[in-house]
Amino acid sequence: MTVGWLALFFQIAYSVGAIGLGLYGLHALWLTLRLHRPALSPSPVNLPSNSLRSNLPRVTVQLPVYNERHVVLRLLDACASFDYPLDKLQIQVLDDSTDQTTSLVQRHVEEWQRRGVNVVLIHRDERTGFKAGALADGLSTATGEFIAIFDADFEPPTDFLARTIPHFLGEDAARIGFVQARWGHLNRDYSVLTACQALALDGHFVVEQVARQSAGYPFGFNGSGGLWRRACIEDPTVGGWQADTLCEDLDLSYRAQLAGWQPLFLPDLVAPAEIPPQLLAFKRQQFRWAKGSVQTLKKLGGAVWASSWSLPARLAGLFHLGNYLIHPLLLLLLLITPVLLLLGVDPFGPLAWLSLASVGPPLLYALAQRRLSKRLWLRRFAYLPVLTLLGMGLCLNNSLAVWQALTNRPGPFLRTPKFRVEDRTDSWRESSYALALDPVVLGEALLTLYALSGVFLAVVHGKWWSIPFLLLYAAGFGLMVGMGVGQSLGWHGKGRPSTARFRAADLVKSQGR
């Protein structure tokens, strides 16, 4: 292959990556602008008066847990305190744990049973089907017409059921399949890392979910902080919980909507949860979400395209399911740019206009924070530069996840460890759940050097346009390496408690509210 043909090949590949990222940016911009149109926001609905509460439907609250000794009692206490008739409420702790979580939960379950709460512990020795398998197993003995689901790191408010169940009642709501609440953050201000994650999650819940609902487009159940109509899950055309993807929540919610069930998002109902304080835990969570989303795209993409939905709704669904494809595109641009510099060629000039689409994500995050707090929005939005670097640095981690999904590589459901860190005096480093440094950091270190070599080539060849672009990559991967190694070695500003002190503090937190 001649140099000319080689240059053309890389220019075409670069164009594919740039156009893909441009479409992602335009999609984010569209979602942001969509919020300024009249929205289909659900009106608040209250439970009937005490005299009519005997007519309320039965609800089963499912709590899937796996080795969650730090946080599971906080969750159980919150759910056992729901403002809902006790004779209509069942709580299932779906426990697949292999550590002391099981015995800890068993004692707490017995305590709540003595108080008259119908709570049961269902322990499985084998994690068949992982979370989807646990939910399906619990459903076989559930007594509720509606199924609420909370992951171990959540602390839902006492009025959660009181504010969700009414939306399922009445003839007009007969096809509502699931209701999703907005996630809040128990530890937003714990560190820069948690503040950045909160910024990203707020963008998803405050703008993306609301905009999709407003437009009548499909959106996903987020796996926790929501409520399902049991008849929807068990609908033969839906197919129930399935474990062939790592995003069983996204999978089920799209199958339900394809079968004609309707979703409902409640942006004013907040279910607080803990954000991963360890970078490696955050990366593991992102890996699972990226792989599971693309698995769902492969599984249901054809059905979405062939559905009776409008063309905009079908396209919006495919964009949603394929959201994590931006990470391989980011990695592709990095790998190609130094090669183009060596060949002495520039990417196609018209592609520079695609950079205008990059305003989409920042506007989305800014609008989300502005809607949440007019007083604090600017301080929270100030973390955007670090979030941008995290997004760049994650592209190797998430590209590996996408590759595994596209090549049908199996893998276990790797949980995101939770530590119960709620304020800056809490520590997670002494916990046995803390993750060890993984080999991906070596690839990130090499990509840091690769991006810096591209900067050198840009200087040599006078291609100044590419220097900021390559420096972003170098800083993003450098942040991954520096933070990952630093956390693994215990580099931090707070005092490091001994193992005994950590466990004692954790035990105190686990005993009551």
Cβ neighbours of residue 428 closer than 8 Å, sequence gap 6 or more: 277, 278, 419, 421, 434
The token pair at 33 is 């602008």
| Strand order across the 176-185 sheet | 119-123, 89-95, 59-65, 146-149, 226-229, 176-185, 262-273
Q: Residue 171 to residues 24, 115, 167, 174: CA-CA distances in angstroms?
A: 39, 36, 11, 5
Rounded Cα distance, 24 and 208, in Å: 13
Inter-residue contact 354 to 21 (CB < 8 Å): yes
The SS3 call for residue 51 is helix
Rounded Cα distance, 474 and 472, in Å: 5
Rounded Cα distance, 137 and 144, in Å: 14
Rounded Cα distance, 241 and 192, in Å: 36
Active-site residues, by number, are 96, 249
The SS3 call for residue 1 is coil
Question: Would you state the torsion angle of the CA atoms of residues 207, 209, 213, 215, taken in this order, to the nearest 10 degrees?
Answer: 50
Inter-residue contact 72 to 87 (CB < 8 Å): no
Share in percent of the chain as helix, strand, coil (round to 5):
60, 10, 30
Residues present in the chain in total: 513
45, amino acid identity: V
DSSP code, position 209: I
Q: Tell me which residue of 319, 314, 265 sits closest to 30, measured CA to CA.
A: 319
Rounded Cα distance, 49 and 33, in Å: 40
The token pair at 5 is 């043909």
Rounded Cα distance, 301 and 311, in Å: 14
Inter-residue contact 42 to 477 (CB < 8 Å): no
Question: In which region does residue 64 sit, left (phi positive, over 0), alpha (psi from -120 to 50) or beta (all else)?
Answer: beta
